[in-house]
Amino acid sequence: MNDQPHGLGDPDYARFAWARFRELMAWMIAAATACSAAVIAVLGVVHGPLRLVTMLAVIGGVGGSIVMAGLLMGLVFLSSGTGHDEDVERFDEW
């Protein structure tokens, strides 16, 4: 029996995996910021000056959707890449 921790149980690999996840989230937040700014700029051109509430709604809707999609996909990649998906299949072996 191998007593070495694997996946996120290994502190070095967990540090690497979470750093990669944080890097992915930083890129997704940058993309969400750029997309929100672009949508606000286009709406400003099309509809004229926007109110603060409208800009906050765009940031929440567009930016929030992009960040949430990146978060969920990042967690799927983290789970798959660290072996948690395989641990579920080996549940009977414990």
Specify if 90 maps to a domain: no
Higher model confidence: residue 76 or residue 66? 66
CA neighbor of 40 nearest in space, from 16, 18, 15, 57: 57
pLDDT digits (tens, 9 = 90+) for 3-35: 666 666 778 888 888 899 999 999 999 999 999
Q: What is the pTM of this model?
A: 0.77
Higher model confidence: residue 87 or residue 24? 24
The pLDDT, as a whole number, for residue 1 is 47
Integer CA distances (angstroms), 84 to 31, 55, 58, 66, 73, in order:
28, 40, 36, 25, 15
CA neighbor of 34 nearest in space, from 75, 73, 70: 70
Helix and strand totals (H; E) in the chain:
4, 0
Taking only Cα atoms into account, the Rg of the chain, rounded to an integer number of angstroms, comes to: 20
Instruction: Work out how many domains the chain is built from and give that number.
Output: 1
**Domain interval for residue 42:** 34-81
Specify if 88 maps to a domain: no
The pLDDT, as a whole number, for residue 59 is 96
Specify if 9 maps to a domain: no
Specify if 74 maps to a domain: yes
